[in-house]
Amino acid sequence: MKKILSLLLALVLVLGCFAYAEEKLTVFISGSGNPLEEDNVLLPNIKEAMGCDVEWTVVSAEYETQLSARLMGGDAPDIFTVPYDLAPTFVQQGLLLNIGDYLDQMPDFVANYTESQMANCMVGGEMYLIAGRPYSAYADVSIRRDWLDNLNLAMPTTLDELYDVLYAFTFKDPDGNGKDDTYGLTGKGLSAFAPFLRAYGTSVPDTFLIENGEVVYTSIDPDFKEAIKFIQKVITAGIVDPEIMSNQGYEHCDKAYNGKAGILVQSFWEIFKATYMEQILEINPNAKWELMPGVAGPGGRYDQVYDPTSASGYFGINADLADDPEHLATVLKLFNWMCTEDGQKGTLFGTKGVHYDLDENGNIVPLPDLSKITYSYLYCLVGRDDIPYLKAKFSYLLDEIEYCGQMTTLSKYNSKVTIPETINLADITTYAEEELTRFIYGERSLDEWDSYVDTILNVFGLSTYLESAKAELAQKGFLG
């Protein structure tokens, strides 16, 4: 087949048609939400930049089976999604090109990837993957600035000040309607307590942290036990939504929109995106929401918990291309181009004049049609430089997005931990959440903490999970 194609190319060259007509890039990725070809505005940009045909297959079900079929059939795509857990196997089977050997052909890629983003591309110390850059940390605690102002209170900076604010938001009529109709804080499930947990240097259940070179699993973290004592005080005082554990769907958001709580624990998008803010201001034109920084406590001060080791996707390059340097150069050019300003615009923002314009300083001004591009993650394989992207796309949220980019975050490492087949993580998490809830609400005495830890380790098999997590994080170089 290859021979025939070469002959065809020779013919094409002789006839003086497009010199690159024969070359075709094949991309085979896992995902969903790919638009119809006639509605796809990103793929044409990629074809134009590459100067050749590009076949972009998006597989929404049974990706691994379909990829196997391609590989076994001798029809390996140039670029394909690598399920992260399978990366070592793929390397062993010789399927993945060692991209590290070719970085000199990808200067813009190298320039735009941080050290930790490069580290995400490594398998066993060699660069066998392109890991799409992860999304930024997004703030998830918002507060009614107008309520603070009404009560002459400052933004809380410590756990004790937070307690006082919650108390005043509950008992001092922050909305001035003369009714006892507000609570300090609302949210859904245990994550509603995240602001307290972070002040103790911990996080919601099933989070892997690393403290002093040691793996910490939050569901049995002694810091979580300490945080519970503080959360119990808050609950006993009646200053948070009593329905936190039973709120369904977006009930907690609705309570905040309707002025029933002064602090909402939920991704900031659900307050600040125009569609939500319009609802909020329709209900109360004086409502003024602001992002609330983390408060300091015994465990430090963190605005959010964030996994710096995650990726927006993992992609490999067909190892056979080592024997076809010209075609390989086109494949490498694709990844490199995607990291350039042009490539980011072409794969995230669509077409100038249709989806965006540029102001006099060259900044992107979104046009209404930009909202139709909901599938950029299927095309921008290198991920995006998230904060500049968001500032361009949500230009009315510059302060909030800037804040997200500057948050102090507590690092978690879950995306680099593989769940062993012998354990049932859902059972472990359910048990942890149920028992931690009972501790928090005083239905089980904290005197039984050690017994809880023993049960989850030995009856639910958490000890197996922890052992393998420690070995894996050590092997991947995260334990210093």
Identify which of residues 70 and 288 has a Cβ nearer to Ca ion in the complex. Answer: 288
**Nearest-approach distance from CB 178 to Ca ion, in angstroms:** 7
Identify which of residues 181 and 342 has a Cβ nearer to Ca ion in the complex. Answer: 181
- The single residue among 1, 37, 104, 179 that binds Ca ion, judged by CB under 5 A, is 179
307 binds Ca ion (CB under 5 A): no
Q: Which one of 48-56, 167-175, 205-213, 256-264 is the stretch in contact with Ca ion (CB under 5 A)?
A: 167-175
**Nearest-approach distance from CB 174 to Ca ion, in angstroms:** 7
**Nearest-approach distance from CB 156 to Ca ion, in angstroms:** 20
**Nearest-approach distance from CB 182 to Ca ion, in angstroms:** 5
Identify which of residues 178 and 368 has a Cβ nearer to Ca ion in the complex. Answer: 178
**Nearest-approach distance from CB 370 to Ca ion, in angstroms:** 41
- What whole-number distance in Å separates Cα of residue 183 and Cα of residue 171? 8
Amino acid sitting at position 346 = G
Spell 96-130 as b/e; 16+ CB within 10 A means b: bbebeebeebbebbeebbeeebebbbbbeeebbbb
Give the number of residues in contact with Ca ion, rule: CB under 5 A: 5
Q: Which one of 172-180, 184-192, 287-295, 330-338 is the stretch in contact with Ca ion (CB under 5 A)?
A: 172-180
- What whole-number distance in Å separates Cα of residue 137 and Cα of residue 407? 8
**Orientation angle between helical segments 449-458 and 425-440, nearest 10 degrees:** 170
Identify which of residues 177 and 371 has a Cβ nearer to Ca ion in the complex. Answer: 177
- Count CA atoms within 13 Å of residue 82 on its CB side: 29
**Nearest-approach distance from CB 147 to Ca ion, in angstroms:** 10
410 touches 302 (CB < 8 A): yes
**Nearest-approach distance from CB 258 to Ca ion, in angstroms:** 12
- What whole-number distance in Å separates Cα of residue 167 and Cα of residue 187? 17
Amino acid sitting at position 252 = H
Q: Which one of 48-56, 165-173, 319-327, 433-441 is the stretch in contact with Ca ion (CB under 5 A)?
A: 165-173
Q: Which one of 123-131, 174-182, 359-367, 451-459 is the stretch in contact with Ca ion (CB under 5 A)?
A: 174-182
- Residue 195 phi, psi dihedral angles, 5° rounding: -60, -35
286 binds Ca ion (CB under 5 A): no
Identify which of residues 177 and 475 has a Cβ nearer to Ca ion in the complex. Answer: 177
* Residue spans of alpha helices (H) in 16-158: 43-50, 63-72, 87-92, 107-112, 115-119, 145-150
175 binds Ca ion (CB under 5 A): yes
Under DSSP, the state recorded for 347 is: I
**Nearest-approach distance from CB 259 to Ca ion, in angstroms:** 8
173 binds Ca ion (CB under 5 A): yes
**Nearest-approach distance from CB 180 to Ca ion, in angstroms:** 6
- Count CA atoms within 13 Å of residue 67 on its CB side: 23
Neighbours of 341 (CB within 10 A): 12
Contacts with Ca ion in 360-389 (CB under 5 A)?
none
Residue whose C-alpha is closest to residue 122's, from 307, 311, 305: 311
- The single residue among 92, 177, 406, 418 that binds Ca ion, judged by CB under 5 A, is 177
- The single residue among 48, 64, 101, 181 that binds Ca ion, judged by CB under 5 A, is 181
**Nearest-approach distance from CB 138 to Ca ion, in angstroms:** 30
Identify which of residues 205 and 259 has a Cβ nearer to Ca ion in the complex. Answer: 259
24 touches 46 (CB < 8 A): no
Give me 55's structure tokens. Answer: 């076949």
Taking CB atoms within 8 Å and a gap of at least 24, the contacts of 43-51 are 43/379, 45/346, 45/347, 45/350, 45/351, 46/334, 46/346, 46/347, 46/379, 48/346, 49/334, 49/337, 49/342, 49/343, 49/346, 50/25, 50/330, 50/333, 50/334, 50/337, 51/20
Identify which of residues 2 and 179 has a Cβ nearer to Ca ion in the complex. Answer: 179
Identify which of residues 262 and 299 has a Cβ nearer to Ca ion in the complex. Answer: 262
146 binds Ca ion (CB under 5 A): no
Residues engaged in binding Ca ion (CB under 5 A): 173, 175, 177, 179, 181
